Amino acid sequence: MIGAGTMGAGIGLCFARAGYEVTLFSKTRAGLDRAARHVERSLDLFVSEGGLSSGLADAAKKRIRYTTQLKKALSDAQFVIESVPERLQLKKDLFRKMETYCASDSILATNTSGLSITAIASACAHPERVIGLHWANPAEFVPLVEVIPGKRTSKKVVDVTYRISEKLGKMPVIIRKEIPGFASNRLQFAVLREALNLVAQGVVSPQDVDRVLKGGVGFRYPWLGALETADLGGLDVFHAIASYLFKELSAADTPPSFFTEIVQSGKLGIKTGAGFYEYEKNSSEAILNKRDRFFVRQLKTMKEISEL
Ligand SMILES: NC(=O)c1ccc[n+]([C@@H]2O[C@H](COP(=O)([O-])OP(=O)(O)OC[C@H]3O[C@@H](n4cnc5c(N)ncnc54)[C@H](O)[C@@H]3O)[C@@H](O)[C@H]2O)c1
């Protein structure tokens, strides 16, 4: 696992829980210490919510090694995931090195949020073994992973990546065309665009946008997707509504000015203590813990229901 930040630690943990030996690489020792604390905290949550025995949690923890040496991390790796900052040149440089240090049959995956897999793979002599594997934050709790073949990725690499994702207990989806934002960010940002539009037009407050999503539209989403919801509601009804409503929805191609102003004023959300909401000093750890506890419970319920 190359990169042990917000995403890398959680991704590494998923592999360790599934029985794989994992090496987490970060540029700094401090980054590795943070990753180890992240792993420990998430395992504690799985155990305290009854989703994992402490014996299995301990075994998972022992399967993770930590290093600041790239060559050491890569030399015996069969499946590598890169999750370093979202800069094309940085990723290309890294993939070039990965190819040199790794065995010739290892798979090289990137957790890019939206850069072209084909562009990243262009740095490699063997682009057929490069693939996108896009996780959602927090990676150890959210089931979805998007499997994104580049133009030259081999079918075998796609199949193996899909099967490994299933083995991790994830919910893989193949993205059949390389398209910016893949599928999950396109859906997420389509909702965000309309949410911002409703606030900008003064239709509802920021708090109420979130209430509409959590109490209504989003309440159904863990169990019914958008298309299942339409099927159950009646496609004639949904078609009639789409016919007059689509043209009313925001088609803005830039963020609304009030959003830009908030960002420019330094309000970046929980990490700066304010965003659309205000956060009390030193409250972020408790808020993220609460979020993750809820996610573990939701994951457990989803698994129980799908086993029925
Ligand atoms: N944060 C999210 O919600 C999220 C979700 C899905 C995908 N992603 C994608 O995952 C990737 C990583 O995001 P993150 O939020 O985990 O970042 P992060 O900043 O938390 O972690 C980055 C990691 O990369 C390492 N790193 C930094 N510069 C490096 C370099 N020059 N060479 C090698 N390693 C270096 C750091 O040591 C750190 O371990 C990005 O491509 C991002 O778009 C992020």
212-262 pLDDT, tens digit each: 999 999 999 988 999 999 999 999 999 999 999 999 999 999 999 999 999
From 90, 113, 147, give the residue whose CB has the most ligand 1 atoms within 8 Å, as the site to mutate: 113
**Percentage of residues of the chain with pLDDT beyond 90:** 95
Pocket of ligand 1 (CB under 6 A): 3-8, 26-28, 31, 83-86, 90, 111-113, 135, 137
Confidence tier at 303 by pLDDT (50, 70, 90): confident
Q: What's the CA-to-centroid distance between 260 and ligand 1, angstroms? A: 24
Ligand 1 atom closest to the Cα of residue 82 is 11
Predicted confidence (pLDDT) per residue in 18-76, tens digit: 999 999 999 999 999 999 999 999 999 999 998 899 999 999 999 999 999 999 999 99
Using a 10 angstrom Cβ sphere, with 0-12 exposed, 13-18 middle and 19 or more buried, the burial of residue 27 is middle
Average pLDDT over residues 146-164: 98
Q: What separation in angstroms does the CA of 23 have from each of 3, 12, 168, 169, 175?
A: 10, 8, 16, 20, 27
* CB neighbourhood size of 66 (10 A): 21
Q: Which of 14, 84, 117, 140 to mutate to test the pocket of ligand 1 (most atoms within 8 A of CB)?
A: 84
Per the model's pLDDT, the better-predicted residue between 307 and 106 turns out to be 106
* Tokens matching residue 157: 């690499």
Q: Is the distance from CB of 145 to CB of 123 less than 8 angstroms?
A: no
Spatial contact of 173 and 145, defined as CB atoms under 8 Å apart:
yes
